[in-house]
Every structure is written in structure tokens, then in C-alpha cells.
DNA sequence: CTAGTGTAGTCAACCTGGTTGTCGAAAAGC
DNA sequence: GCTTTTCGACAACCAGGTTGACTACACTAG
């Protein structure tokens, strides 16, 4: 059966929502309610060097104001902390707390478990093939977490 | 190479955004700026019988107030029109205008063209296989446009 | 040293697309 | 007929973005 192009888009979205929905639900059940994928992406970006609001905004391709708001919620949730930069009094350097790392690790494990589940259902080699073809179609750029940007509000 | 579960989610999201981004950009270039996937989904639902705000809300799985807001923007863009229901004075029946149909048709064509492009790049039989496996993993529920709901703001 | 330019963070106002709660009017059920 | 349900509207609110304006600080050219 040949599906329409719109169906294909819906399938891709459905797959994403299925994975992300499961992970956020499970994280919530484990006591990390209100963690959104965007928070995870932001923490990853912070951990990998985007340790100021402006830099985070550039990585996530949003305005520095939006990045500052995201940092504010991560701060109040206790997932990051903020200090001054001894070398530049304008900057306020952000770092991921142990609690933040904990959430990132749990999210990673949950995603991996879901992927294992998928591998079990269609066969590991088929899943690898599916990923390979998707990567070819979409380009590696899509795998950069920062590309997730606005669509990750689920 | 075995990717992580999170990468898989990002690949799926990337695929969706790639398709939808191209379609909305092309629609905008053809004079239908500010058409969002959610508008297309809503028009489809309206055309297929969800011709009141309350019913549209149920189909799209959002509140009737949210559905009414969506209808309001479709109204002001001229994609739907609204009249009274002779059988029920509470209802205001919504119907898709020729302009609305035009946008839906163009969107469909653009999605199909994109799918053809993908088929050309990895081979038609591989794309069909990819769709088949995705459908198996995600379930047919994901193909219902109304499942797209909130994540379709791109 | 100083003047000009660029950057970091913050505040305020606004937009979009959702939410809940309340309400009056109309329909439906007993 | 009276009660319950449903429809549409209104208001207040929230999340997560936007732009614009502003201060504090850093850097660089003269």
C-alpha cells in the first residue's frame, strides 16, 4: 500500500510523540514532573559548553531572552545552578547540577529502553536500517538536539 | 552503527519537521502565508464532518475554546465560513470555503511531491518498507490527523 | 587614556495556541 | 414542565516564544 506524503509526515510525528510521550510520562512517574524535552535539550547544550544564556540561545536557535527564560525554569527546578564568571563580569555561567544529570541519565535510559523495545518488535537489523535511511533522508543535521527547538514542547 | 534511543526520536522529529517545513515554506511562497499544519488538520476535520467548534475540539482532542480560536483564525483568513444551523439554534455550522479546499489540495500535492522525492532518493520499495515498519511500531492511530494536535505548531 | 562598538543579561510588551471556569441560551430527557 | 446537557462566548491565565530598549561591562582603535 502506498501512503500519501501527508501520512508519512504523520507517521514520523507519531513516532516522535510516541517515544517522547512515554519518556516524559515515565519521568513524571519517577518524580520528575514537568520535565519537557526542551529542558533536556537545554541541559545537554549547557553541559556541552553553552554555559551562558546568550550562547544557549545561539545553540538552540532561539533569542537570548527565550534562553534566559528556559534557564530560569531550570534554575527553579534545581536542574542547573548559576554563578559569576571571574573573567567576565557580564557573564553568568550556568552549570548542570547533580539532579540535572540524574534527569538526563534517566531520560537517556528510558529512550534506549524504548529503542530496544522497537528493535525487539521489528528486529534489530531492520531498526538499524530504518535509522540509516532516515538519517540519509533527513541529514545528520536533524540529530543535533538543538535542531529540536520549538517543536519539542510535547 | 547503533544509535541511541534519543537519536532515534530526533531523527523522527527531524523527518517530520523537514517535510512540514518545506510544505509550509512552499505554501507561503505561493501566497498562503501563515498556514500552519494545525490549520490544515482542522480544515480536514471540518470537511469530514466536525462542523461545529465543540465537535472540532473533540476530534482534535483540544478544548472547545481552543477549537473556537482556531476556527476564528480560519474565518479571518477566509478558509472557512460559518452559518447557522436550522435544526439547532445553539450550533454555528462551519464549512470549508473554496479557498480552504485550494490550500488543502496544494498542501496534499506538496506532501506527495516530497514523498516522491524521498522515494527517488532511497528507492520506492525501501520507502514503502520504512512506512510499513513505522506504522507497525507507532500504530495506525498516529495516522489520524487529529493525533497531531499540539505538536503541529511548526 | 579615551571614545566607540559589541556583547551579556534583564525588563517590558506582545503573540500564539493552549488551558480552566463561568455564563446565558437552546435542546433533550424524564 | 422542570432539570440536565450541550453550544458558543467571555475572561483570566499559562508556556514558550518574539522584538525593542536599556544598563553594565569588555574590547579595540586611535
| Contact: A111, B145; criterion CB under 8 Å | no
Percentage above 70 pLDDT, chain A: 89
CB contact under 8 A, B114 and A5: yes
Mutant choice from A1, A2, A3, A11 vs B, greatest count of B C-beta within 10 A: A11
Q: Are A22 and A16 in contact (CB under 8 A)?
A: no
pLDDT beyond 80 at A81: yes
Statement: the CB of B63 is under 7 Å from strand C? yes
**pLDDT tens for each residue of A107-149:** 999 999 999 999 999 999 999 999 999 999 887 654 454 444 3
What average pLDDT does range A55-64 have in this prediction? 95
Q: What predicted TM-score, i.e. pTM, was given to this entire model?
A: 0.82
Q: What is the reported pLDDT for A53?
A: 96
Identify how many contiguous H helices and E strands chain A contains and give both numbers: 6, 2
Instruction: State, as a whole number of angstroms, the distance between the CA of B83 and the C1' of D14.
Output: 32
DSSP letters spanning A30-90: TT-TT--HHHHHHHHHHHTT--SHHHHHHHHTS-HHHHHHHHHHHHHHTSEEEEE-TT-TT
Amino acid at each position: 500500500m502506498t501512503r500519501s506524503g501527508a501520512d508519512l509526515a504523520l507517521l514520523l510525528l507519531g513516532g516522535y510523540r510516541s517515544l517522547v510521550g512515554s519518556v516524559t510520562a515515565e519521568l513524571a512517574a519517577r518524580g520528575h514532573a514537568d520535565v519537557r524535552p526542551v529542558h533536556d535539550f537545554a541541559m545537554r547544550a549547557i553541559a556541552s559548553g553553552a554555559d551562558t544564556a546568550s550562547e544557549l540561545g545561539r545553540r538552540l536557535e532561539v533569542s537570548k531572552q527565550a534562553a534566559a527564560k528556559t534557564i530560569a525554569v531550570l534554575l527553579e527546578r534545581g536542574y542547573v545552578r548559576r554563578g559569576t564568571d571571574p573573567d567576565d563580569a557580564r557573564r553568568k555561567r550556568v552549570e548542570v547540577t547533580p539532579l540535572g544529570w540524574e534527569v538526563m541519565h534517566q531520560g537517556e535510559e528510558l529512550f534506549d529502553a524504548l529503542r530496544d523495545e522497537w528493535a525487539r518488535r521489528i528486529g534489530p537489523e531492520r531498526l538499524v536500517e530504518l535509522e540509516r535511511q532516515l538519517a540519509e533522508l533527513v541529514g545528520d543535521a536533524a540529530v543535533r538536539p538543538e535542531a529540536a527547538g520549538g517543536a519539542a514542547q510535547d
